Amino acid sequence: MEKKTIFDLKRISPEEFKRVDKIPLIVILDNIRSLNNVGSVFRTGDAFRIEKVILCGITAVPPHPEIHKTALGAEDSVMWHYEENTCKAVDDLQEKGYVVYAIEQVENSILLNDLSLDKKKKYAVVLGNEVKGVQQKVVDICDQSIEIPQYGTKHSLNVSVTAGLVIWDFFKQLG
């Protein structure tokens, strides 16, 4: 096996990315502290052609060198905007017909491996703070919560890893 070169991969340009169809998924970042995590979400969002990232609360916004370090330019291809209040971001999307899921460990959550999506619907997922998770008041207004099953000693995954798993699962079902 020979590794592919960057030329073999035939990637599209950021301008082309903005014109191609996206999966009907918006990622909301609720008070993410780490700029590396923010950059990673942009990069994963680019890889799987999500619609947009909404940055809320204390979450930093591009341009920023620490976001760019992990986004590697994806912050220029993936649409984004800042909304101070995460609840307002959720409300606005629900008014536009999006089904909004909190990615959180809550009572009666749907396990990610049991999630079944409808290709006719639009979705948003809320990813929470590295320590506190998704704010309870945000969980309360979401349509449902998705939980990633875990079998080790730790209670959570890094938010960028969580984003990767969730975005990939949505892409498999909606792409």
| Spatial separation of the C-alpha atoms in residues 171 and 173, rounded to whole Å | 5
pTM of the model: 0.97
The pLDDT assigned to 149 comes to 97
Look up the CATH number of domain 14-174.
3.40.1280.10
The pLDDT assigned to 113 comes to 97
Mean pLDDT of 74-88: 98
The pLDDT assigned to 11 comes to 92
Which of the 8 DSSP states describes residue 83?
E
| Spatial separation of the C-alpha atoms in residues 39 and 152, rounded to whole Å | 27
Mean pLDDT of 97-126: 98
DSSP bridge pairs for 145: 102
Which three-class secondary structure state does DSSP give residue 39? Answer: helix
DSSP bridge pairs for 123: 25, 99
| Percentage of the chain exceeding pLDDT 70 | 100
> What crossing angle do the helices spanning 159-174 and 35-47 adopt, rounded to 10°?
10
